[in-house]
Structure 1
Amino acid sequence: MILLGFDVEEFDLPLEYNQSIDFPEQLNVSTKGTLAILAILRVNRVKATFFCTANYAVNKPDIIQQIIDEGHEIASHGYYHSDFDIKHLLSSKLKLEQLTGTKVTGYRMPRMMPVDEAEINKAGYLYNSSVNPTWIPGRYNNFKKPRTWFFDHDVLQIPASVSPLVRFPLFWLSFHNLPMTMVKWMAAAAHRKDGYLNLYFHPWEFVDITAKGVYRLPSHISRNSGEPFIKRIENFIQWAKAKGYEFKRTGDFAEEIIKNNK
């Protein structure tokens, strides 16, 4: 089982590196990338989960509707990508439900930062996918967290996948910087150990953010962006299907676990 998650947000990454980017351009980059993702999923007949900020959804309701129309799940990625208040847990959920006409049951904290699980429960979420159970310098140290799903405050936690033993993260940066043979080897080992993979990416990765040299992002972030990344993800999906792995929306996966563990 493979859970593909895409964090649809304002493309504010350049701001972290003291670069300027106006809001319309943030939306444009994220939208272009989201459309590329939808095309990949459509061709390969794969359903996925899109963790969206309410801010993006309010400004691009047509894209959100397309995600729903093509059979994918909408989950919350907060109200804004770079501004968090505990009240945003509920307000983002309500806004996304209003825009989509669907129940929003999942949450992912921007940048996979810590969040109060009691508040996640209070806001009415069934699952949270905000834990990367590894150590990334300057970001977080979650070696003491479980590698696989667990419950916290009655909320199902679905950590991002990491390799067994050394907990090497199988996240977006790995797909940019490692040979795909190595990514597949670690993915197969994690799937064999855990029975599933939980992978997450961002729409801007599917856009050539190095084309004009405008953003001047570190090479480990921008490497293989755009068309090369599209080819990498398509290749990975085809490899996974050839191995017999199924793809599932995160919410559907969560509902099955919750139902079987009541």
Structure 2
Amino acid sequence: MILLSFDIEEFDMPLEYQGDIPFEEQISVSRKGLQNILRILKKQDVKATFFSTVIFAEENKDLIKELLSQGHELASHTWFHSEFKEENLAQSKQKLEELFHTKVTGLRMPRMSPVSEEAVADAGYFYNSSINPTYLPGRYNNFRVSRNPFWQKNVLQFPASVSTIFRVPLFWLSFHNFPLWFYKLLSKLSLQSTGFLNIYFHPWEFNDISDPKYKLPGYTFKNTGKEMETRFENFIIWAKKNNYKFDTIRNFLNHQNVKKSQ
């Protein structure tokens, strides 16, 4: 099973590199990217999960309603992308449910940041997909974390997928920078090992973000925009030819028999 997910958020990444981008542009860049994503998913008849910040959702209510009408899952990416308070866990869930009349059961923290699992459970989430089970200096130290779903503090943890050897993250950066045939190979091996592929992207990847004013490193915008649209659709077509199925994370986890620890 392939679980595609998208962290739909303000395009604030340039601020990490002292780039220049006003709030309105952060929203417009991601909005255009989300439109491209929804078009491809509809064309290919594939369902996915969208982790949205409240800020992005409030600015793009029409697109959130559209993705829900297409059968996709809406989950929480907290309130803001660049600022977090623990109370945002419950607040964002409640606000998204109120705005769009849908049940929000999943969480992904911005930048896959660590979070109190007691607070996640208290906020009412069923699952948390905020762990990259690998080691990246200065970012993640989760090399010994299970690659499979597991219960923690009454929350079902659903790690992002990594390669079977060396635990190379199969996230958005590797999708852009690896040769596509190699990414497909790593995906196939991971699928054979765990039975699922949990990979995530962002809407701004499906837009042109090469403007020098953003001051982004080249590896962050390599194969973005039109190139990303082409690569992404190519990947979906390859998966279908190999008889891989697609679903939302919520649907997939609801059918997993993962026992709670005593």
Q: CA RMSD in A?
A: 1.1
Distance in 1 (alpha carbons) for counterparts of 2:212 and 2:15: 15
Question: How many residue pairs end up in the alignment?
Answer: 260
Name structure 1 gaps, 5 residues minimum: none
Which of structure 1's runs of 4+ aligned residues deviate more than 4 A?
Answer: none
What code does the residue aligned with 1:18 have?
Q
**Which residue in the other structure is 2:7 paired with?**
7
Aligned partner of residue 74 in structure 1, secondary structure: strand
TM-score (norm 1): 0.97
Query: Within the alignment, does 1:240 sit opposite 2:239 as a pair?
Result: yes
Distance in 2 (alpha carbons) for counterparts of 1:222 and 1:137: 21
| Superposition deviation, residue 213 in structure 1 | 2.7
| Superposition deviation, residue 58 in structure 1 | 1.4
Name structure 2 gaps, 5 residues minimum: none
Distance in 2 (alpha carbons) for counterparts of 1:226 and 1:136: 26
CA contact (8 A) 2:9 2:30 kept: yes
Distance in 1 (alpha carbons) for counterparts of 2:139 and 2:47: 30
Distance in 1 (alpha carbons) for counterparts of 2:233 and 2:213: 27
TM-score (norm 2): 0.97
Which stretch of the first structure deviates more once superposed, 80-89 or 132-141? Answer: 132-141
Percent same amino acid at aligned positions?
Answer: 51
Distance in 2 (alpha carbons) for counterparts of 1:16 and 1:130: 20
What code does the residue aligned with 2:109 have?
M
Pairs within 5 Å for 1:39-188: 39-188=39-188
Aligned partner of residue 159 in structure 2, secondary structure: coil
Aligned partner of residue 199 in structure 2, secondary structure: strand
**Which residue in the other structure is 2:30 paired with?**
30
| Superposition deviation, residue 13 in structure 1 | 0.4
| Superposition deviation, residue 94 in structure 1 | 0.4
Distance in 2 (alpha carbons) for counterparts of 1:99 and 1:70: 17
**Which residue in the other structure is 2:213 paired with?**
214
Distance in 2 (alpha carbons) for counterparts of 1:242 and 1:53: 34
| Superposition deviation, residue 101 in structure 1 | 0.3
Aligned partner of residue 133 in structure 1, secondary structure: coil
| Superposition deviation, residue 234 in structure 1 | 0.5
| Superposition deviation, residue 222 in structure 1 | 0.8
**Which residue in the other structure is 2:223 paired with?**
224
